Structure formats: C-alpha cells, structure tokens
C-alpha cells in the first residue's frame, strides 16, 4: 500500500470511529492520535537500523511532547489503528497491536518486568480498549475483545470477550455487544457500553 493510500485509509478510519469528525482536512490537521501514529511509522522504520535507534527515540519523545501520546519505536502496530482523544496513551517497546484496534485516552500497554524479553501486551485484531485501562505484561487480548474503562488486565483474555475490573476478569461478549461496537445507535443497554 502506497504512502498516500495509507494516509487516506487512516483518515477514513478516524472518521468511521469518531462521529464528531467533520471532514478529512480537519481530521488530518487536528487529530493528535493520527499524528502520533504517523510519527510512529517513521520512528519504527528508524528503530530497525541500529545506528538510528537513538534518533528514533528522540523523535518519539518529541512526538510525545507534541501529542501527549507515547509510542515506543519498537512497538509493532497494524493497519487502521485509531487512538481517540489520545492524551496519556503509553505503548511499550514490545507491544504488538493488530489491525482495526482502537484505544481511548489514558490507556497503558505496559510491562511488568525489567528483563530484555517480550514484556508488553499483544492486542489481536479488532480489540477496543476503554479510557484509562492498563494492560500490563506479555498478556494477549483475543480478537474482537473489549477492555473496559479503568480495567487493569494482567492475564490473557480469549477472543470475543470483555475484560473489566481491577484486577480484570473476563466474560464472553453477547452478540448484541458486538453490534454495539459497530453501531451504538442500535444497542439498547447503555449500562454495558465501555
């Protein structure tokens, strides 16, 4: 996929996830989540070259100061990733994020170890993480899952589950809860929204 096609995909994805988005130009200019993702793509490529690791970290820290979103250059991120109201998002070095993932503000994908191993979470395709949630350690969040606001996840969750609480416990999503993620207007139980 070419550079411009990827930018158009990112803008369309942001508009699909944010009902407040009024146009492509506005999204491209003012969405800090997109700016952080775009900068990460550059720093991630730099990170792969040993001599560019320090400049990659420097650029990622500059991006953090401009956007309020810290994404380590070593993190691996898929397509159509969206950060809504990104302030305070932290994504660690060994984090892996699949396609069609969405994070809200204040989310941490952090580590629990100082060892030089895989120490950050893996989020499979289609995961949604609510505001303030912390996912810590090399845990895996299964595809199509949701993590509730302010949850602290320290154990794996299977596909199509919802994790809530401190420490988080999970349950399988009901079919209507999948519909809520796609079309909130048709979901009638707001107590279940995350």
Choice between 185 and 30, residue whose per-residue pLDDT is larger: 30
| The pLDDT of residue 182 is above 50 | no
Residues 10-55 have pLDDT tens digits of 999 999 988 888 889 999 999 999 999 999 999 999 999 999 999 9
Apex 157 CA angle, 175 and 124, nearest 5: 80
**Rg value, the chain, Cα:** 16
- pLDDT reported for residue 84: 93
Q: What is the pLDDT of residue 95?
A: 97
Mean confidence (pLDDT) of the chain = 90
In terms of DSSP H, where are the helices of 77-166? none
* Domain assignment of residue 98, given as a range: 3-192
For residues 112-139, average pLDDT = 94
Mean pLDDT of 98-104: 96
Q: What is the pLDDT of residue 186?
A: 44
State residue 4's pLDDT score: 86
Q: What is the tally of structural domains in the chain?
A: 1
192 pLDDT higher than 60: no
Q: Give the integer Cα–Cα distance in Å for 47 and 49.
A: 5
Q: How confident is the model at residue 179 (pLDDT cuts 50, 70, 90)?
A: low
Q: Which of 120, 172, 167 is nearest to 146 (CA)?
A: 172
Confidence of residue 3 (pLDDT cuts 50, 70, 90): confident
- With beta carbons less than 8 A apart as the criterion, state whether 108 and 129 touch: no
Alpha-helix runs per DSSP H in the chain? 3-17, 24-30, 32-47, 53-67, 175-182
CATH number at 66 reads 2.160.10.10
With b meaning 16 or more CB within 10 Å and e meaning fewer, what string describes 69-92?
A: bbbbbbbebeebbbbbbbeebbbb
CB 147 within 8 A of CB 163: yes
What pTM was estimated for this model as a whole?
0.86
Q: How confident is the model at residue 1 (pLDDT cuts 50, 70, 90)?
A: confident
Give the relative orientation of helices 32-47 and 53-67 as an angle to the nearest 10 degrees: 170
Q: What is the SS3 assignment for 108?
A: strand
- Reading the block at residue 157, the tokens are 């969750």
Q: Report, as an integer, the average pLDDT of 92-106.
A: 96
Q: What is the pLDDT of residue 86?
A: 85
Percent above pLDDT 70 for the chain: 91
Give the pLDDT confidence score for residue 178 in this predicted structure. 63
């Amino acid at each position: 996929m070419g550079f411009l096609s990827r930018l158009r995909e990112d803008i369309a994805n942001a508009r699909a996830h944010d009902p407040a988005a009024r146009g492509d130009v506005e999204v491209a200019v003012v969405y800090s989540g997109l700016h952080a993702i775009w900068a990460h793509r550059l720093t991630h490529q730099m990170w792969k070259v040993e001599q560019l690791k320090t400049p990659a970290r420097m650029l990622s820290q500059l991006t953090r100061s401009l956007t309020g979103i810290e994404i380590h250059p070593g993190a691996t991120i898929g397509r159509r990733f969206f950060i809504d109201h990104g302030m305070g998002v932290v994504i660690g070095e060994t984090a892996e994020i699949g396609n069609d993932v969405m994070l809200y503000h204040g989310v941490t994908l952090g580590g629990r170890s100082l060892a030089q191993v895989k120490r950050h979470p893996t989020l499979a395709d289609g995961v949604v993480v609510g505001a303030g949630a912390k996912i810590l350690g090399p845990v895996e969040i299964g595809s199509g899952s949701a993590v509730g606001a302010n949850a602290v996840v320290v154990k794996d969750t299977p596909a199509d589950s919802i994790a809530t609480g401190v420490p988080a416990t999970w349950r399988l999503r009901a079919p209507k809860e999948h519909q809520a993620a796609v079309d909130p207007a048709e979901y009638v139980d707001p107590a279940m929204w995350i």
